[in-house]
């Protein structure tokens, strides 16, 4: 991954965290890794543990951030969530979320939070 793309991704995650915290969520982990992959953000929303994928896009050349979430990506997210739940002995509710950050020249980033996404 190029440095510019990596910086954009980190910046998008920072924006997502600010948004989620403003919505009352507690960030539990960032960039949590296991054999199945990585969760960009793990958070508590009330009593529910959410595994969040952040997608940041600059322009529409490669489609919208939402379009980049494929069934295969959702399956990997679920596998990561299962690993986290097992490793941390979590017994409460959990879900998969997506936060998109869309950049447009001269405008504030548009941030959308999609809760409980599935295929």
Please name each of the domains of the chain with its CATH number: 3-114 (3.40.1350.10)
Are 43 and 30 in contact by the 8 Å Cβ rule? The answer is no
Are 39 and 77 in contact by the 8 Å Cβ rule? The answer is yes
| Sheet hosting strand 37-45, strand order edge to edge | 26-34, 37-45, 48-58, 94-103, 110-114
Output the pTM of the full model.
Answer: 0.91
pLDDT in tens, the chain (119 residues): 678 788 888 999 999 999 999 999 999 999 999 999 999 999 999 999 999 999 998 866 667 788 889 999 999 999 999 999 999 999 999 999 999 999 887 888 899 999 999 85
């Amino acid at each position: 991954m190029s440095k510019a793309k990596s910086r954009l991704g980190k910046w998008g995650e920072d924006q997502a965290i600010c948004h989620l915290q403003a919505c009352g969520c507690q960030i539990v982990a960032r960039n949590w890794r296991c054999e199945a992959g990585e969760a960009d953000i793990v958070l508590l929303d009330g009593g529910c543990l959410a595994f969040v994928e952040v997608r940041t896009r600059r322009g529409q050349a490669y489609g919208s951030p939402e379009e980049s979430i494929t069934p295969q990506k959702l399956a990997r997210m679920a596998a990561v969530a299962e690993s986290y739940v097992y490793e941390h002995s979590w017994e409460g509710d959990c879900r998969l979320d997506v936060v998109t950050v869309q950049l447009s020249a001269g405008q504030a980033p548009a941030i959308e939070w999609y809760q409980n996404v599935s295929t």
